[in-house]
Amino acid sequence: MKFLTKSIHVGENPKNIQYGDAIYPIHLSTTFAKESLDEVEEGYVYSRSGNPTRNSLEDKLASLENAKYGLAFSSGLAAETTIILSLLKQGDHVIAFDDLYGGTKRLFNKVLNRFGIEVSYTDFRNVENIEKSIKNNTKMIWIETPTNPLLKLADIEEISKLAREKDLVVVVDNTFASPYFQNPLDLGADIVLHSITKYINGHSDVVGGAVMLNNDILYEKISFHQNSIGAILSPFNSWLVMRGIKTLAIRMEQHEKNALIIAKYLEENSNVEKVYYPGLKSHPQHQLAKKQMKGFGGMLSFEIKGGLNEAKKFVENLALFSLAESLGGVESLIELPALMTHSAVPEDERIKIGIKNSLIRVSVGIENVEDLIEDFEKGFKAVRK
């Protein structure tokens, strides 16, 4: 099946449902009764360990990444935590892209470090930097591509090749691209991770995470810990995400169409210093984007001329773009990484990576793009005043 068909049909199984529901129902029951003690370990037992609605979503999630297995978590960070606690132990070392979602860095630097898991950061745009960072205790390479918020790319295929030689596990946070535009497992990665709070659900009404993978041993470990830690997605949220996924493909097409128009508009704008969008020819890794992605997505960032004051004035004078964290919903959102999503990253580190105070991150929604540009015109006018 092709993507659109899978997103609509996988996990629904109308023929296997008691009343023939055309869409999979919500099973809210926390526990499942048995006829006899001989059956207590058969089928569904307790909803944390397995729930029919969550499992249906997990089948759908797996299909989107061409994966054998899918697992749904209570948040993207819960998925990240579970991956790490399943596969690593005290004394192990992770190499991560230096440009990552601020919350992921907080998890690595302020939580996992207390349990003796060491993370070092480097610029993944050059694979040599990763090679140089490998130590005797390195166990995992943590990729985010495109990165949040600077839209830097890492070559998944190259890095996976290196990791295989060195026996390291490759995790790819595929949140920004969505499974519609990028499939890291097909490029050699071991584990794909999503904040399904974003594009996969797409309607800004569920916080959730997902892990997709093919390897049986890694799956056994992560699913054991998903149950043992208890970081599961609720049945209602699972159902909402099933519903959201059905339009993922057509939403992504529209997100990308709008984002490319806005990126080009910003590139021509005299109030703008620099635009970061992998779909622009001026993006230094545009060729890599064309090689490993099927589309460029709906996220972009830009530096406004001036500094923090100009950036603040711009975002506070928009009507259609809500000033809010998060991304990937049908409605457009805008934020200042320095003060919002990446405020947990120390300022000197932030500046070193390239996240300036004048950086504005945009999650381009699927509204009419002319209306969005008109809104930006208002923002720039307010800045010029």
- Cβ nearer to ligand P1T, comparing 195 with 237: 195
For 154, half-sphere exposure in the C-beta direction (CA atoms, 13 angstrom radius) is 35
Q: How many angstroms separate the CA atoms of 241 and 55, rounded? A: 12
Distance, in Å, from the CA atom of 310 to the CA atom of 307, rounded to the nearest integer, reads 6
Q: Which of 296, 297, 276, 289 is nearest to 202 (CA)?
A: 297
- Closest approach of ligand P1T to the CB of residue 357, in Å: 17
Least separation in angstroms between CB 17 and ligand P1T: 29
Residue (100 or 266) nearer to ligand P1T, CB:
100
> Can you tell me the distance from the alpha carbon of 222 to that of 228, in angstroms, rounded to the nearest whole number?
10
Could you say which of 24, 54, 99, 101 is catalytic? 101
Pairing state of beta strands 359-363 and 333-335? Answer: antiparallel
**Which residue number places its CB atom closest to ligand P1T?**
76
Burial 273-301 (b: 16+ CB within 10 A, else e): ebbbbbbbeebebbebbeebbebbbbbbb
Strand order in the sheet with 93-97: 69-73, 209-213, 191-195, 169-173, 138-144, 93-97, 118-122
Q: By the 8 A CB rule, do 40 and 49 touch?
A: no
Question: Given 34, 48, 221, 313, which residue is catalytic?
Answer: 48
User: Is 125 noted as a catalytic residue in this protein?
Assistant: no
Which of the residues 6, 198, 251, 356 is marked catalytic? Answer: 198
333/383 with CB nearer ligand P1T: 333
**Gyration radius of the chain over CA positions:** 21
Report whether 149 contacts 301 (CB < 8 A): yes
Give the whole-angstrom CA distance, residue 364 versus residue 9: 28
Specify whether the CB–CB gap between 299 and 101 falls below 8 A: no
- Choosing from 98, 155, 173, 190, which is the catalytic residue? 173
B/e letters for 191-207, b = 16+ CB within 10 Å, e = fewer, are bbbbbbbbbbbbebebb
Burial class (CB in 10 A: 0-12, 13-18, 19+), 48: middle
Taking the complex as a whole, how short is the minimal distance between the CB of residue 155 and ligand P1T, in angstroms?
A: 18
Q: Which is nearer to ligand P1T, 101 or 239 (CB)?
A: 101
Specify the residue, 163 or 362, whose C-beta has the smaller distance to ligand P1T: 362
d(CA 368, CA 108): 39
Amino acid making up residue 209: G
Q: Smallest distance from the beta carbon of 325 to ligand P1T, in angstroms?
A: 4
CA distances from 160 to 92, 151, 291, 339 (A): 19, 20, 15, 34
Give least dist CB 214 to ligand P1T, A: 21
Nearest distance, CB of residue 335 and ligand P1T, angstroms: 7
Q: Specify the residue, 82 or 383, whose C-beta has the smaller distance to ligand P1T.
A: 82
Binding site for ligand P1T (CB under 6 A): 75-77, 101, 103-104, 144, 148, 173, 175-176, 195, 197, 207, 209, 325-327, 341
Active site residue 356: no
The answer to whether 48 is a known catalytic residue is yes
Minimum separation from the CB atom of position 103 to ligand P1T (A): 5
Nearer to ligand P1T, 32 or 302 (CB): 302
- Active-site annotation, residues: 48, 101, 173, 198
